Amino acid sequence: MGNYHLYNPLRPMIALVDCNSFYACCEQVFRPDLLGKPVVVLSNNDGCVIAANKEAKAITDIPMFEPVFKIKDQLIAHKVNFFSSNYTLYGEMSQRVMNILGTFSPNVEVYSIDEAFADFSGMKNVSLKNYGHEIKDTIFKNTGLPVGVGIAPSKGLAKLANKMSKKIAENNHVCVIDSEEKRIEALKWCKIGDVWGIGRKHAERLKNIGVFDAFQFTQLPLQWVRKEMTVVGERTWRELRGEPCNEFITQPPPKKGIGTAKSFGIKLPDLERIEEACAYYISEVSEVLRAQKSCATYVQVFIITNYHSNVDQQYSNSRTVTLEVPTNDTFKIISAARKALVEIYKPGYRYKKVGVNLTGIIPQDYVQGNLFHQPSKLNNPKLIETFDAINRKFGKATISSGLVGTRINEWELIKKERSPRYTTQWGELLRVNSKSSNSKFQKC
């Protein structure tokens, strides 16, 4: 095969900054009394574990996405503190981290809510390890969130360096792969199943041919990797050898489909409250649609009962409606969705979930009119802009369609208390609730 790898210590470096146990740590930031204590965050409807801090993981092996009812007694016995998910809080804390990271690099790619790549091109005569510690310390000082920093010549190696920054205590949450020796050492340390870009099935296939770590993977012939693992596997192979293949995406492409489907806190038998929930969810996805300056051509609505119930009759259905003119107007989409919901709703069932999907998404500047469609006098873009501005300032659903009604808490996600929105509500910041989260959980 020859000496194919293109690793070059002088190549511009890439950093991956990843928040540790992000959701759980966000909760701890505003609850200092929980520092050093086990914290777990639960999914919508408090159904599954979606985050656990290091203290919780140290006490007992908590599988991610494990249904809570299976481990409830175990968690309570270990005095684990529980929080229902608060995505408004997590989103705002994430934005703070990304803004700070932007002061250290002109090119930042937000990879997920809790991690981002930073381009260090053009940096000369800079100690990358010291720079990584400066990033880590600044983020912690300004947000209270601990992060890990991995720096390497490619995204794949940066991901590996980030993992080593957390798993190896001597690294103190910062790891730099800036030499051939460090690259080989890191590859031999990483198990094949932990390589970014290699899924479970490919990992099993590789183990069957004697490949158990990342270094052994990089020694495979390129032709075999390309044939057996397609272009994705080849890209991973090259990245681990120090050749950047994944470009920076500082501006994510517009979404081609936007939707939401959330379980109710209680089962709903009547159409009226299901319509309220549907209208509320449409308000959410319409805001996302407007934020990316797009319009939807189709709206799909679906309803389902609880298929895990042994006592309820089961039913599900969906309907897709073509809008007369592609739009991002909340009220027009709600009107179309209501018609679809009436068609698929059947009385006599207790419904667990309603969902909406917006598809056929196009840029709002390319919307073509309809010769047979008469614009409504109520079609006022300024009104929608005002709605969005008020909700951004005072919080989600501060102002919404009258159809949403005043009973949101009866069906929205779950009947529970979430962590306060400290980042937007100063009144909540002054009213720190000292009650134990466990008492809330036990009532569920």
**CA separation, residue 31 to residues 114, 145, 215, 437 (Å):** 20, 13, 43, 11
Query: Would you say residue 419 has pLDDT above 70?
Result: no
DSSP secondary structure string, 57-122?
HHHS---TT-BHHHHHHHHHHTT-EEEE--HHHHHHHHHHHHHHHTTT-S-EEEEETTEEEEE-TT
Please tell me the predicted confidence (pLDDT) of residue 371.
64
pLDDT, position 404? 66
What does the longest C-alpha to C-alpha distance in the chain come to? 72
Average pLDDT, the chain: 83
Residue 269 has pLDDT above 80, yes or no: yes
Instruction: Looking at the structure, give the CATH architecture of the domain made up of residues 8-178.
Output: 2-Layer Sandwich (3.30)
pLDDT value, residue 384: 79
pLDDT tens digits along 102-148:
999 989 999 999 999 999 987 777 899 999 999 999 999 999 999 99
In this prediction, residues 295-299 reach a mean pLDDT of: 94
| Beta strand residue intervals within 138-249, DSSP E | 147-152, 174-176
Answer yes or no: is pLDDT of 237 > 50: yes
Helix (H) or strand (E) holding 162: helix 155-167
Distances (CA, A) of 385 to 68, 368, 398, 399: 40, 21, 14, 12
Q: Which two tokens stand for residue 201?
A: 């099935």
Class of the CATH-defined domain 258-410:
alpha beta
Per-residue pLDDT at 377 exceeds 60: no
pLDDT in tens, 214-232: 999 999 999 999 999 999 9
pLDDT in tens, 278-290: 998 998 899 889 9
Name the segment(s) of the chain with CATH classification 3.30.70.270.
8-178
pTM of the predicted protein model: 0.74
Q: How confident is the model at residue 403 (pLDDT cuts 50, 70, 90)?
A: low
Taken in order 270, 44, 68, 197, the sign of the CA dihedral is positive
β-strand partners of 41: 51, 83
Sign of CA dihedral 321, 325, 328, 330: negative
Identify which has the larger pLDDT, 406 or 366.
366
pLDDT of 49-99, one tens digit each?
888 888 888 876 777 777 887 888 888 888 888 888 888 789 889 999 999
Residue 62 CB coordination number (10 Å): 19
Please report which helix (H) or strand (E) contains residue 296, including its range. strand 294-305
Does residue 413 carry a pLDDT above 90? no
From 121-135, 142-156, 299-313, 421-435, the region with the lowest mean pLDDT: 421-435
User: pLDDT grade, residue 11 (50/70/90)?
Assistant: low
Q: What is the pLDDT of residue 157?
A: 95
* pLDDT on residue 65: 78
CATH 1.10.150.20 in the chain: give the residue spans: 180-252
Is pLDDT at 240 greater than 70 in this prediction?
yes
Q: Which are the catalytic amino acids?
A: 115
Assigned token pair, 272: 């009226």
The residue assigned the tokens 């995505």 is 87
Residues of the chain with CATH 3.30.1490.100: 258-410
pLDDT given at position 311: 87
Per-residue exposure over 279-313, b if at least 16 CB sit within 10 Å of its own CB, e if not: bbbbbbbbbebbeeebbbebbbbbbbbbeeeeebe
Instruction: Copy the structure tokens of residue 73.
Output: 């007694």
According to the 3-state scheme, what is the secondary structure of 209-228?
CCCCEHHHHHCCCHHHHHHH
Q: Return the top range by mean pLDDT from 52-66, 247-261, 304-318, 391-405.
A: 304-318
Alpha helix stretches (DSSP H) within 242-363: 271-291, 330-344
Give the per-residue pLDDT at 436.
38
Q: What is the CATH number of domain 180-252?
A: 1.10.150.20
Nearest CA-CA partner of 304 in 272, 345, 358, 273: 345
